[in-house]
Structure 1
Amino acid sequence: MNAFQSARPWYRSPLSLAIASTLACAAAPVLAQDATGVDTQPPADAAVTLDSVVVTANKRVENIREVGASISVIGERQLENMGASSLSDYAALIPGMQVQNSGSPGLTAVSLRGISALSPGATVATYIDEVPVGSSGIYQGASTLMLDLLPYDISRVEVLRGPQGTLYGAGAIGGLLKYVTRAPDLFHDEFRVGFGLRSVSDGGQDWNGRIGVSVPLQEDRLGLRMSFARNGLPGYTDNAVDGRKDINGGEQVGGRAALSWEGDTVDLDLSVLHQRISADDRAVVALEPGTYAPLAGDLEGRTWQRQPFSKELTLTSLSVTWDLGWADFVSATGWSETTTLDQIDATVQFGEVADLLLGFPEPGSANVRYSFDLDKVTQEFRFSSRTGGRFEWMAGVFYTKEDALQSQFAWLGQRDGSPLPAPYDAMFGTLALIDLPSTYEEVAVFANASWRVGERFKIDAGVRQARNDQWFSQNVSAGILAPVGEDPGKSREDVFTWSLSPQFKLAEDTMLYARVATGYQPGGPNVALPGMPPSVDSSMLTSYELGLKSQFADRRVQLDVSAFRIDWDDIQVAASFNGIGGLVNGGEATSEGLELASRFRATDALVLGVNAAYTKARVKSDFAPSIIPQGDFDVVLNTGLAGDRMPYVPKLSWAATAEYGFMTSGGLAGQVGAVLRWTGERYNDTTERQRVTAPGDPSTVLQEELTAPLLLDSYRALDLYAGIGRERWELRAYVNNATGETGWSSMNPASGAISGAVAHLAAVPIQPRTYGIEFDFRF
């Protein structure tokens, strides 16, 4: 269903009235929820204790309270209650995690603990169960195209903060995002069907549907699970140039089939997953550069070319676990294919080529279309000892091979979107046509061990040695923005990472731990442009962390506190001039902070929670300059200066949660809840300093220009949800950003590549007031 604009106030729509009725159903005593999210009445002696949570952070099934690392878990039940459809919907529940949205699910960058994405390479690794997804190389836009999985048929989302290089390898320099899918039920049939409606205030409406089936094909041996979901994305931004309304509508579609076999000594899990995101346009608002006031309406942008976005992922994974008696042998295999299309309006950036270079009476219009194709194969073999002994160990080998292609096509036409008149169309209509094929191949060996000394002390340690070989070619077949020709390059690097974590139990439910760990972000061959090095090295960091995990007051209160310092060296930084860019190893940065995660079961009916993060992440020294020859002069470009704050990292962010469960006298059970989230002010970038110097003499400065980053104000938002049902059915409702607060997820200046003049600021808003209602039936 296409999104459409509604002229009625949000509180007058039939959907909002239905939600209000559902929210009003809260009354009476509690019904607690277990870790699986199924409504069950707890035993009397456990009614006021908090649930235990199982994670696989160390590639073992462990209680999260026993792991000496900072881990957050968002369960399936919480995702359903909040109506979550993307990372932006639940990121505030994870201390130290920031998600910057560029206008659509899938156009997403994620940072943890101040380790921002300053280059195309990812700083947070992504896994689905046992398999990594996304590119480890630098030519697939991994940092801004993070996997934004539609969270249906997902058991939980695990987020590990801090470098995870020893177990998870390349790209986990800042942490790990891990989606854990639901396994087939080997004992019981399950059939689930659901339907929902979602509407955005002053925007469009759309529907979502889902179905899930789990069937034991052979009781306690073989099971099959299948699911399908469609989630509509209502549009809510307009375009002042052509008058289009609610232009950023789209949809997410996902399907999965999983087969599970449990034998006497061998277990097997086979899964095929497909996800597709498609958006008609981006959610972008045009702001006045000086005042940040909207140039047109509150949710209106200014684009001359459409900006569609689509991303498809197909992942096949096979996991085999063999009980050898003395150890378990695990084989985890993954095959994935990812296709991405991202078109952006470049009228402000390149449209001035028409008037300033070609002599036309007015600027033209332009777009740039990026396409990314990635084929990835991964294989991991590992041996691991049984869990629970005094000495636990794990050793393995990992291999991955990526074949990738990035294509760029930049087009220039007249202001009304028609081609340039002949002969200019043939000569200048194609500003650039570039293919960037690349390969990434890595082999790594790793080992981890845990040693318990007595009942209180434990020490974990891990090492990983990796080697990657990369090949790349810059093939320019047409255009004026880059020299025509083929320029291949290659690189090889060896990287060693390690971790050490002593842990001490102060009491049965209180653990003090320290953790020192390293991580890396792979380098690779660079684009062939003047002033750019032929290759960039890996970024490396070392993290120091001290943490406390505690439960007290008869396990009704849970408190996790951690302090950290991160030293980041050889940071990969994107540097651009005249609209064309490459990578350099910029310099150093530090990130220091405190994180808090707490929950309190005040009564058997009410659970309260607070999480918060204070992060001071700054550039330590001026980033290394790029010297770009321009004939009679040189341009010396610094893309970060000492003291700059890291992009999109607030000093303070927090979220407070409350959930009240109830059971009516008629046997209905449910809950009402709220999340109040706050994000502090952020900067969109680091400072850029551009100096014009005499050729070969950088000390003779002829001209200097500083471009300061943009400041994004702090914002808060309130999310409300409620649900009621019986054993087989449930009705849920939610209102996200209930008070209709305005805030910005990301912001960038729209400026000319030749003149440098800023026409406006392109800002992506946080989701406006959004309300939805969902119905699920199980049998």
Structure 2
Amino acid sequence: MTPSRPMAFVRRAEPALAGCGTALALLFAINPAHAQQAAQPAQANAAANPDDGEIIVTAQRREQTLMKVPQAVQGLSGESLVRMGVTDIQSAISLVPSATTGSTIGAGSTTYQIRAIAASETDGDPAVGYYLDNFAFTMPGRPYAPAADFYDLERVEVLRGPSGTLYGLGSIGGTIKVLTKDPELDGVSGSVRATGNLTAGGKPGWSGDQMLNLPIVDGQVALRGVISYKRVGGYADIIPTGVKNDNPSTSFTGRLKLLAKPTDNLTIRLSAWRNNTKQRWSNRITFSEPASIDQRFGEALSDYWLFAGDIEYDMGFATIQSSTGHIKNTVISNNGGFIPGIGNFTSLWPLVTNNFNEDLRLTSNGNGPLQYIVGFFYQNGNTAGGQTVQLPDFPVAPGVIGFNTVNDRNRLYSKGWAVYGEATYSAFDRKLDVTVGGRYYKEQRRFEEDSQLEIAGAVIPNRTTTRASHDTFNPRVNIAYHAAPNAMIYAEVAKGFRSGAITSASIIGASNAVLGTNLSNVSPPDTLWNYEGGLKWGLFNNTLQLEIAGYYVDWAKAQIELSPALQTIVAQVGDVRGHGIEPSITWRTPVRGLTLNFAGNFNSTTIHNVPAAIVAHIPQLKEGNQLPGTAKTTFTLAGSYQTPIGGNGLQLRLNARYSYRSRQQSIFNGVYAPYNGVGYARASIGNDRWEAGIFSDNLGNTVGPLDRPGGQNQIVYPRTVGISFEAHY
């Protein structure tokens, strides 16, 4: 079925909301008295529950309440995520204004974007930085986010806008941090959760999670372990085999975390992550209704081991902290079949990444007017592999049939280091904060290509080594004025960057032949300037929390993924300019236990200065067009209700949300994926020891599709109805 059209106000929302910023700022200036009544710090917008309490975030690499951070930051507590049925990054993203999920090939190969700063779906570095605790998760030359289960989390933080000063590594559009709970030093504890669901027109799914906390040395050393397993039922029929609902996926996640506090000043955390996510066939289907795949074979795999250590020592005046980690990550996509307009195909995409990074930083302590952080970052990694494609039926030219490429033997090496720092000075009785910071980053890359191009049986080998070196300085200036404990207005100028891509010389050569261009296979880093102003305000004893941010971005010589010659390349083809507004409202209503939330993004992000030869072949890159792969409007409406029932501390909890994304255009063929609206609801009963619930996702059974890459479709997962049970001991 197709989604029902939202009310007409959605189309009129952007100009109306644009005026909200001026009105709110004026009201803020005239009458801050209401804000001075606030007694409780702000909760996480778009995810708050009445019992969340303070949300502490580390967006600025130090612990602060969310209301005190002069940035556009989302703080989603682990408890609120559980109650809303959020179990992974993809479902959490729907709660964040301006954050959306990009195209995926299969389970474990997902990309995300923030504020319409879109990375490619297969090539190039990400436009969003990903952190698992303090480890910078990255695959040199690839944009994929980590696959991770969300059971037993402390919180998720999403920084909107460039975070290149303190985070770097792909944070040109923003940063996503997944923070796990520390072990508890006193007392054995644990929890277990089981979930089962039925899928509309598909096969059932289920999941199981368990956490165990064990003190080893009372008050000094403890271990916390988490195991999660999830099976997502298949929903697409396989046309050549006739098997129904044959694209299921499974995911296993295991985490171990050791906490040691041998002295009051010394804290040591050691952790290990293991994730294995695999899918039969893929998430890309040939036909949307009914969902079906015209392929002979297909599989997708994401598998990683991560080992990390975090040591911090409190020296009194400051705390020194070292975060070290290594990851081995394997991502494989292997499928073959038929694509309308292209014909028969096979595609093998094996990628193996090894990456080490170290982050050493010194953070000031105390409550003095000057706060600072200085640090050094180092990373050394490589990604082996690439895409091998066979298109035996494709007409390359009149009388010339067949196009094959072999790229799975390529390897990209990356080595880089950075020095960074920020200082904040508070004046006028802590009402005015001025922050100045910067990050200098230098990187060397080496691309060893061992590929070949086959056209109509003729083999053209290519064995080359390409080297590139670049450096960049990324400043940040932020001014914040605190009119009251829960009232703040801020302005910021910041620069973000993304490492330059090195593309296969054979593929870029074929692309230049098609386009009539002379694109280089080496791209320098992206640079993006972000100009932003925002307001955070808690009113009426903090029962009404308002946040609004407006921004303008200037993304020069943006690296964009293209596919002019049947395979993808990443090249700097134009400039991107955008502006947007992000309103967010949390209202703890007079009805006890009822909280309502709204969070959204309304933007215009357009492409400019693309060479005419490229536009002639890829008209979706015409002057002033919305950047393909991005949506102009996203928003989420959410509500939660909690009330005591009966005795024994029983609580009834109700949660619902609706997420909307406007249409977006495919970079590959210019086809639009329509607007999508997806609803979720959950009801549960429980106390501090147990909870039982019933839920439904994609209530309206929206199909979409979400994206239409390369003649295929990626649809919304069909409606599910399920039950869950969780116990704590």
Q: Deviations along 1:377-435, whole A, 9 cap, x unmatched?
A: 001111111153210011111000002201433346799xxxxxxxxxxx989753541
Q: How does 1:128-207 map to 2 (within 5 A)?
A: 128-135=132-139, 137-138=140-141, 141-142=142-143, 145-207=144-206
Aligned equivalents of 1:111, 1:160: Cα separation in 2: 12
Listed as ranges, the matches of 1:380-459 within 5 Å are 380-411=359-390, 432=406, 434-455=408-429, 456-459=431-434
SS in 2 for 1:307: strand
- What TM-score, normalized by structure 2, do the two folds share? 0.86
Corresponding letter in the other structure for 1:97? A
How far 1:740 moved relative to its partner?
1.8
Question: Does the C-alpha gap of structure 1 residues 429 and 715 become closer, same or farther in structure 2, counting only changes over 3 Å?
Answer: closer
- Distance in 1 separating the partners of 2:85 and 2:105: 19
2:639 counterpart of 1:658: yes
Name the CA shift for 1:624/1:459 in 2 (closer, same or farther; >3 Å).
farther
Give 1:190-589 correspondences, 5 Å limit.
190-262=189-261, 263-287=263-287, 298-345=289-336, 347-348=338-339, 352=343, 365-411=344-390, 432=406, 434-455=408-429, 456-476=431-451, 479-480=454-455, 483-528=460-505, 529-530=508-509, 531=512, 532-589=519-576
When residues 487 and 639 of structure 1 are mapped into structure 2, their CA distance, relative to the original with a 3 A threshold, is farther
Question: 2:578 is matched with which residue: 591, 604, 612?
Answer: 591
Deviation at 1:268, TM superposition (A): 0.4
Displacement of 1:621 after TM fit? Answer: 2.4
Residue 299 of structure 1 and its aligned partner are, at CA, apart by 3.0
AA paired with 1:398? Answer: F
Corresponding residue of 1:675: 657
Q: Deviations over 1:356-382 (max 9, x none)?
A: xxxxxxxxx331110110000001111
Quick check: 2:147–2:302 contact (8 Å CA) kept in 1?
Answer: no
Contact 2:620 2:628 in 1 (8 A): no
Q: Deviations over 1:655-705 (max 9, x none)?
A: 11111102112222230111122222222228xxxxxxxxxxxxxxxxxxx
Could you tell me how far apart the structure 2 residues matched to 1:366 and 1:114 are?
32
- 1:237 is displaced (CA, Å) by 1.5
1:108 to 107, 110, 123: 110
CA contact (8 A) 1:588 1:623 kept: no
Would you say 1:122 and 2:83 are equivalent positions? Answer: no
> Within 2, Cα distance between the matches of 1:514 and 1:453?
16
Q: Does 1:616 align with 2:604?
A: yes
- 2:83 corresponds to which residue? 81
Q: Distance in 1 between matches of 2:639 and 2:322?
A: 41
> Against the structure 1 CA distance between its residues 208 and 434, is the aligned structure 2 distance closer, same or farther, given a 3 Å change threshold?
closer
Per the alignment, residue 36 of structure 2 pairs with none
Note if 1:685 corresponds to 2:676: no
Shift of 1:626: 6.4
Contact preservation (8 Å) 1:491, 1:535: yes
Equivalents in 2 of 1:637, 1:596: separation in Å? Answer: 34
Alpha-carbon contact 1:337-1:375 (below 8 Å) kept: yes
Structure 2 unmatched ranges of 5 or more: 1-39, 395-400, 513-518
1:747 maps to what in 2?
A: 708
Residues 654 and 518 of structure 1: is their aligned pair in 2 closer, same or farther, counting only changes over 3 Å?
Answer: same
State the alpha-carbon separation in 2 of the partners of residues 553 and 87 from structure 1: 33
Alpha carbons 2:230, 2:252 under 8 Å: kept: yes
CA distance in 1, matches of 2:582, 2:214: 42
Secondary structure of the residue aligned to 1:589 is strand
CA contact (8 A) 1:544 1:565 kept: yes
Contact 2:43 2:53 in 1 (8 A): no
TM-score, scaled relative to structure 1: 0.81
- Does the C-alpha gap of structure 1 residues 273 and 166 become closer, same or farther in structure 2, counting only changes over 3 Å? same
Contact conserved, 1:83 with 1:772, CA < 8 A, in 2? no
Question: Aligned-pair distance for 1:637?
Answer: 7.0
Other-structure match for 1:692: none
Distance verdict in 2 for CA 1:448–1:438, change over 3 Å: same
State the partner residue of 2:722: 772
Residues 163-205 of structure 1: CA deviation (Å, up to 9, x unaligned) = 0001111210000011001110112211212222122111111
User: Could you list the per-position Cα deviations for residues 262-296 of structure 1 after superposition, in whole angstroms to 9, with x for gaps in the alignment?
Assistant: 22221100000111111112234435xxxxxx5xx
State whether residues 562 and 570 of structure 2, in contact with CA within 8 Å, keep that contact through their aligned partners in structure 1. Answer: yes
CA deviations on 1:450-489 (whole Å, 9 max, x unpaired) are: 1000221001121011100000011026744972130110
**Distance in 2 (alpha carbons) for counterparts of 1:58 and 1:596:** 22
Taking the aligned partners of 1:383 and 1:559, their CA distance within structure 2 comes to: 33
Return closer, same or farther for 1:249/1:555 CA change in 2, 3 Å cut-off: same
Distance 2:217 2:274 in 1: 26
**Matches of 2:173 and 2:536, distance apart in 1:** 21
The 2-side partners of 1:582 and 1:505 are apart by 47
Q: Using the TM superposition, name which of 262-271 and 329-338 deviates more.
A: 262-271
Distance in 2, matches of 1:412 and 1:458, equals 59
2:21 counterpart residue number = none
Q: Distance in 2 between matches of 1:261 and 1:49?
A: 30
Q: What is the alpha-carbon distance in structure 2 between the residues aligned to residue 392 and residue 623 of structure 1?
A: 47
One-letter identity of the residue aligned with 1:606 = L
Q: Which amino acid aligns with 1:370?
A: W
**Unaligned stretches of 5+ residues in structure 1:** 1-32, 38-46, 288-293, 353-364, 416-426, 628-634, 687-706, 751-761
**Deviation sequence 1:226-285 (CA, Å, 0-9, x none):** 111101111112123332211220111000111001222211000001111111122344
Of structures 1 and 2, the larger Rg is shown by 1
Which amino acid in structure 1 is aligned with residue 249 of structure 2? G
Kindly indicate whether the alpha-carbon contact (under 8 Å) linking 2:107 and 2:283 is maintained by their aligned counterparts in 1. no
Question: Contact 2:659–2:679 at 8 Å: present in 1 too?
Answer: yes
The one-letter code matched in structure 2 to 1:485 is N
Cα deviations by residue, 1:88-126 (Å, 9 ceiling, x for unpaired): 323221001111342544232211111112453210010
How many angstroms does 1:739 deviate by? 2.3
Deviation at 1:147, TM superposition (A): 1.6
Work out whether residues 549 and 560 of structure 1, in 8 Å CA contact, stay in contact via their aligned partners in 2: yes
Name 1:99's counterpart in structure 2: 101
- Partners of 1:437 and 1:100 in 2: CA distance: 25
Residue type of the alignment partner of 2:382: D
Q: Which moved more, 1:557-566 or 1:724-733?
A: 724-733
2:476 touches 2:492 (CA, 8 Å); kept in 1? yes
C-alpha contact (below 8 Å) 1:340/1:373 kept by paired residues: yes
The structure-2 alpha-carbon separation of the partners of 1:497 and 1:216, relative to structure 1 and needing over 3 Å to count, comes to same
CA 1:342/1:640 → structure 2, altered by over 3 Å: closer, same or farther? Answer: same
Cα–Cα, structure 1 residues 471 and 266, in superposed 2: closer, same or farther, change >3 Å? same
Deviation at 1:555, TM superposition (A): 1.0
Of 49, 67, 70, the residue aligned with 1:68 is 70
Identity in percent: 21
Distance 1:414 1:171 in 2: 38
Q: Which amino acid aligns with 1:647?
A: P
Q: Kindly indicate whether the alpha-carbon contact (under 8 Å) linking 1:612 and 1:653 is maintained by their aligned counterparts in 2.
A: yes
Match of 2:687 in 1: 726
For residue 77 of structure 1, give the secondary structure of its aligned residue in structure 2. helix
| CA apart distance, 1:315 | 0.8
RMSD: 2.7
1:153 to partner: Cα distance: 2.5
Closer, same or farther: CA 656–478 of 1 in aligned 2, 3 Å: closer
Which residue of the partner structure matches residue 621 of structure 2? 640
1:86: Cα distance to partner?
A: 3.2
8 Å Cα contact 1:623-1:640 kept in structure 2: no
State the partner residue of 2:3: none
1:447 aligned partner, one-letter code: G
Question: 1:234/1:84 Cα in 2 relative to 1: closer, same or farther (>3 Å)?
Answer: farther
